[in-house]
Structure 1
Amino acid sequence: MEAENLQTVRFAPGGRNSFQDTLIERTNAYFKVNHISPYANTKMWIKTTVMLSLYFVPYLFMVTGFGANNGWLFFGFWFLMALGMIGIGTSVMHDANHGTYSPNRKVNRFIGAILEVIGGYSVTWKIQHNQLHHTYTNIAGLDDDLDSIKYLRFSPRQPYYWFHKYQYLYAWFFYSMMTLFWMTAKDYLQIVRYKEYNLLVNHKVSMGQAIFRVTLYKIFYYGYIMVLPILFSGMPWYAVVCGFLLMHMVAGLVLSCIFQPSHIVETSTFELPVESEIGSREMEDSWAIHEVENTTDFAPGKGFLTWFIGGLNYQIEHHLFTGICHVHYPNLAPIVKKTAGEFGVIYHVEPTFWKALRGHVKMLKKLGRK
């Protein structure tokens, strides 16, 4: 992000009977007619239990020395923990930190705190994801998801370097390092940057408090995730380190492959705000239309995939309705698609995950050209 880009950006007004107003009206009617809550249901609570178990049960087996003489079983535990970490990241902590488990904020905060248990920090995550990504999707200089290392170019609005022509080949390595970087340095770097841009204020935390809390969380995390297995798993320290890296590389790669095909694709517009006559920075479209035009759904109707990745294959619905639990997205998608068609808004969707991923690779190649 650039400091001058953090001024308020205005989206075009939706107007009476707008696309967004119509969507809200029809979505509210769906929940009212069917007598259901937009928050978590029984299926969501069952899934939460499964995802937490997928992470913590293999860990408990490992630190109690179960399978200490079996390397395949030992590394299998780490692999299962990676799957649990993915599930927690896409479903449990993600929904909780969006406030969709319950209308009770304390419930959402309690469940969202699982992010600290798996090595992250809720404050920086909410700023990057809820505040910047969901408000300014694909706007270079404002969407923090675009502002990665300079070796990755995710927008045609970003600087070009000669090595970007190879990014479609080497991006996967950096993707696999995503959560490892997050659990070590990213939170600290974000705290300093968000303090500079005055983004910590809304979370009622100072930079000193944030750094102190993150440090405590990291000590706790590395204490149980590495020190205890080294002491009690019965495996040598280097096997524990390798298992830890395996977990993060699998989780980072899979999470990246879930998120990137929804935004970094050829159909996204990557529009920038323009300076108005009164000096404000304005977008041509309304916020809802901007979100749909910069987001792509994939693999609709694929039950297990939808279940495992927290409905994030319905990314359009997630961006439009961040306050609704993801278990409702499959039923909301036809409403959104129909309404988009009526208002002349292009609804992007890929039929399979692999086709969506190929679309992302094509975009990486395209962005690798000057």
Structure 2
Amino acid sequence: MAHLTKLFPIFIILIFLAFLYICKYLPLINSKKNNENEINKKNIEKVKKIKFVGAENYEKFDCKNEKMSYNWQILNKSAGKIIEEVGKEFDCKHMNILNKYKLTNQIKLPNNYKATEPGDKEDSAVFVTASDAKQIDALISLIGSIKHRFGTKQRIIVYDLGGILLNAKMMYYIRNLCSVEYRRFNLNQLPPNLRNIKTFAWKIFILAQSHLEFNTFIYVDTSVRIYNGDFERHIYGINKRILSPFLFNMGTNHGIKRATLPETFQYLPLYTSDEIDIEMQETHFIIVQKSEFSKEILKWAILCALTKECFEPKNNTKCNANQLYIKDDNLFGICHNNDKSVLTILINNAEEEIISKGNSNLILHSSYNHHSRRLSIFPFTNYQILKDHRDNPEEVLKRHKC
């Protein structure tokens, strides 16, 4: 007992020292743990925010060195220097569409192409058109005018934009007309905000599909009628490199800038040389020859048609004729012509680049002597005129039934 009494002061001192240690160092330990916990929480949040791409989706979003920003380099002779413009980058998620239609940079098409005229030969140019149920009578008249000029066996591809399959009358004609092939167009391949057929994004996809399949094809709207149909000098011009292998039939008599919203030019900048504006082209009749030139046009056109801000930056921007033809050189972006705007920009720039590289024989679409101004077609733009000039469907079927 006396021994324990002697040790008691020592125990008291040890307890006191332990108390001092706890008071001094425990807050530091807790603070360190709190800091570590806070850091861990922040790191966990960062990890949560990372969007991991599964192996099955990786290919879809990988551009694989594909150029996704449109650009051009053109020699401006008056300025004495090369001018270059680069547009906004398109999304890599559209690579699957480029691959589908074989429009990537990795695919190079030969330059020794040879365009062919329409007709009943195996390698003759194919006519391609599209219609919904509302334009059935106009479609039959178009088919009749093509068959009348190029023969019963002239091949025609008809894309259904809605309702034709459900129309027994139309399906009866298509099934019985010789060399007329019906295809349903899948609007779901377009972005939801560009599926309305009045946006005309579908037209770019039909052009891309036709370019994939055919050596030479002629796209026609149902508002077109073929009369003379003598395309010999135009096909000759394409083969001699006098005309580009993506040929429009006529201009609109107003400028591109006037009828195109500025957002489109952010993706597809326009070269205008020393001119204020360039004439826009109509897209209701287009002769296309499979070529590297046409492939490049369609690559950028389809990327734009997949991008709302490029193809149709704003809704309800139809062009009013009263505004389009006002004499005012500074009146730009008053409306938007979707497919006309996009295709004319691309064709104009591509042709300017060719001339810049030394092909002085090429005739620009914007030139007064371009062959397209003498194409033998008659495009109806007034519905009443179109109604008065329809062929009788029964007569069309009678003349061109297989």
Same fold judged by TM-score > 0.5? Answer: no
Structure 1 length normalisation: TM-score? 0.30
Q: Between Structure 1 and Structure 2, which shows a larger proportion of helix residues? A: 1
Q: Between Structure 1 and Structure 2, which shows a larger proportion of strand residues? A: 2
Q: Tell me which structure has the larger Cα radius of gyration.
A: 2
